[in-house]
Structure 1
Amino acid sequence: MDSMRDRFASVASRMLDEDPRVAVVLAEIGAAGFAETLRRHPGRVINVGIREQLLIGAGAGLALTGMRPVIHTFASFLVERPFEQIKLDFGHQDTGAVLVSAYGSYDAPAGGFTHMSPGDVALLDTLDGWTVHVPGHPDEAETLLRHAVGAGDDRVYVRLSEQKNGRGLPVDGARFLTVREGRRGVVVAVGPMLDAVLAATEGLDVSVLYATTVRPFDSAALRRATETAGPEVVIVEPYLAGTSTAAANDALTDVPHRVLGLGVGRRELRRYGRMEEHVAAHGLDPASLRERIEGFMRARVAV
């Protein structure tokens, strides 16, 4: 199976062939995947070098001319380092683009903390008007990337990951999918967390929702699920724990409920390790998730 980044390069190259509005803007990272495409479209594949603020500024300039820029680098360099440019060049100027990241929370641990960005979605949450897609499989990444590029001139963030589920599901860029139905709580699995959540909840009487578009948050799907499964909600995200807790609380504001946000902790892990070791250290492996989910659901009975 190819990776999400591999799929991104091939799909973006095809979209350059198909749509004269599309331009790809890079900051050195990922440029090798567009070498052949650059020869076909020398004016629409732009590598600004290791200049992340310029990466965003160049993309915004293209948007002002009517282009649909697709801007790509690692998450820490795409969202955190040039955040002021995102806020002003896109938000303040009311322009749109598709930001496509890779290597988010801990996908490249050998790079150290400079190459980790567990807070990217939470940071974008401070800005107005961003759609956020978090695919869990290369097929979903392709679907959501095409959806993002075709979304008029909207501001869209597509968060790619080295982690992936075993199979892709028919995502539509808007709704949560119901993967499992139960009556003792709701677990929302975001993107590449689905396989771990399904393993962790095997045999538990809980509903599992699958979220690959987290902004806007599908409040209607969560409300429907809680009507039959009860108002205990666990959200398992591949980035900063609690990022979507407020959105879930807003969805259930008129209903007595409890929400537990599971994800990447705030404590910096100061050893490189392997990706799997970071998953376990943050309690996102199936065994840890089961213990935390069962403990949360049992607490309802004790109240």
Structure 2
Amino acid sequence: MDTMRDRLAPVLSGLLDEDPRVAVVLAEIGADGFADALRRHPDRVINVGIREQLLVGAGAGLALTGMRPVLHTFASFLVERPFEQVKLDLGHQGVGAVLVSAAASFDWPAGGHTHMAPGDVALLDTLDGWTVHVPGHPDEAETLLRHAVAAGDDKVYVRLSVQSNAEARPVDGAHLTTVREGRRGVVVAVGPMLDAVLDATRGLDTAVLYAATVRPFDAAALRRAVRAAGADVVLVEPYLAGTSTAAVGEALHDVPHRVLGLGVGRRELRRYGTVDEHVAAHGLDAGSLRERITGFLGGAAGV
């Protein structure tokens, strides 16, 4: 199966042909995939080199002229390194862009900590007005990329990963979907965490909701699930643990509830290892998730 990132250049190249507003801004990473698009649209495929602050600044400048810029590089270089430009050039100036990242939390362990970004979504949470998509399958990534580019002039972050669920789910860029109904607790699986969550909760009487879009957070869907399954909520996210606990708290502000946020820990793992080894070390494999979920829900989960 191809990866989410494999869909990026073909989808954006097609959109460049279809929509004269679309522009793609790169910082060397991924440039080879746009060679044909560059020949067709030399004024709308721009490679700024390894200058990530300029990447965001140039995108903002294009947006100020009425273009719909799509900016792409690794998450650590797209959100963390040029955060001041994301905050000011886009946010303060009131213009939008589509930021499409790769490498996720630890997709390239050999790159070391400089190429890991488990805090990217939490960092964007300090800013106002961002839509955040976290697809769990290449088909979902393609759908959400198209949705993001078509989203007027909004600020949108699309977080791509080599981690993927076995099958795509219907996604609309806004809503949580119910994958499994239950009466004793709610587990919200984000993006590529769904398969592990389904394995971890097999045989348990828990509801499983799927989120491929986490900002804005679908409070109404969570409230419906809580009414049916009880007010114990477990979040399983492929980035910094607890990133969306505040969103759950806001959704359930008038409902007594407990919430457990599972995800990537804050401790830096300094051995390179593999993606699967990082997943296990952070307790995000199915066996570890089952232990942590049942430990939180206790006897309420049922079997």
Question: Quick check: 1:145 aligned with 2:145?
Answer: yes
Aligned positions of 1:1-303 closer than 5 A: 1-298=1-298
1:292 positional shift: 0.2
Q: Shift of residue 294 of structure 1?
A: 0.3
Q: Secondary structure at the match of 1:197?
A: helix
Give unmatched runs, 5+ long, in structure 1. none
Aligned equivalents of 1:280 and 1:68: distance in 2? 39
Letter in 2 for 1:139: D
Q: Retained in 1: the 8 A contact 2:240–2:263? A: yes
Q: Tell me by how many angstroms 1:300 deviates.
A: 6.0
TM-score (norm 1): 0.98
For 1:136, the aligned partner's letter is G
5+ residue gaps, structure 2, are none
Q: Tell me the alpha carbon deviations over residues 90-115 of structure 1, each in whole angstroms, 9 at most, x when there is no partner.
A: 10000000000000100000000000
For 2:103 and 2:136, the matched residues in 1 are separated by 14
- For the residue of structure 2 that corresponds to 1:298, the secondary structure is helix
C-alpha distance in 1 between matches for 2:20 and 2:167: 32
Shift of 1:127: 0.2
Partners of 2:185 and 2:300 within 8 A in 1? no
| CA-CA distance at 1:299 after TM superposition | 7.0
Please tell me the residue identity of whatever aligns with 2:271: R
- CA 1:189/1:299 → structure 2, altered by over 3 Å: closer, same or farther? same
Give per-residue Cα distances to partners, 1:272-291, cap 9 Å, x unaligned: 00000000000000000000
Alpha-carbon distance between aligned partners in 2 of 1:168 and 1:104, rounded to the nearest angstrom? 19
Return the letter of the residue paired with 1:8: L
Give the conservation status (yes or no) of the 8 Å contact 2:23–2:69: yes
The Cα of 1:295 is off from its aligned counterpart by 0.4
Indicate how the Cα distance of structure 1 residues 299 and 87 shifts in structure 2: closer, same or farther if over 3 A, else same.
farther
Alpha-carbon distance, 1:162 to partner: 0.6
8 Å CA contact retained: 2:184, 2:300: no
Query: What secondary structure, in the 3-state scheme, does the structure 1 residue paired with 2:249 have?
Result: helix
Aligned-CA RMSD value:
0.8
Partners of 2:130 and 2:18 lie apart in 1 by: 25
Q: Deviations over 1:103-149 (max 9, x none)?
A: 01000000000000000000000000000000000100011011100
* Identical residues among aligned pairs (%): 80
Query: By how many angstroms is 1:36 displaced?
Result: 1.1
Which secondary structure state, in structure 2, belongs to the residue aligned with residue 105 of structure 1?
Answer: coil
What secondary structure sits across from 2:58 in the alignment?
A: helix
Structure 1 segments (4+ residues) deviating >3 Å = none
- For 1:98, give the aligned amino acid: V
**Which AA in structure 1 matches 2:202?**
E
Secondary structure, in 3 states, of the residue corresponding to 1:178? Answer: strand
Q: Deviations over 1:4-62 (max 9, x none)?
A: 11101110111001100000000000001101111111111000000000000000000
* Secondary structure of the corresponding residue to residue 260 of structure 2: strand
| Rounded Cα–Cα distance in structure 2 between residues aligned with 1:39 and 1:59 | 20
In 2: Cα distance, 1:3 partner to 1:37 partner: 20
CA offsets per residue over residues 164-219 of structure 1, 9 Å max, x none? Answer: 00011110000000000000100000000000000000000000000001000000
Q: What's the secondary structure of 1:104's corresponding residue?
A: coil
1:264 is matched by which residue type in structure 2?
A: V
Q: Distance in 1 between matches of 2:187 and 2:43?
A: 46
Letter of the 2:7 partner, please give it: R
Q: Distance in 1 between matches of 2:184 and 2:15?
A: 44
Which AA in structure 1 matches 2:219?
A: S
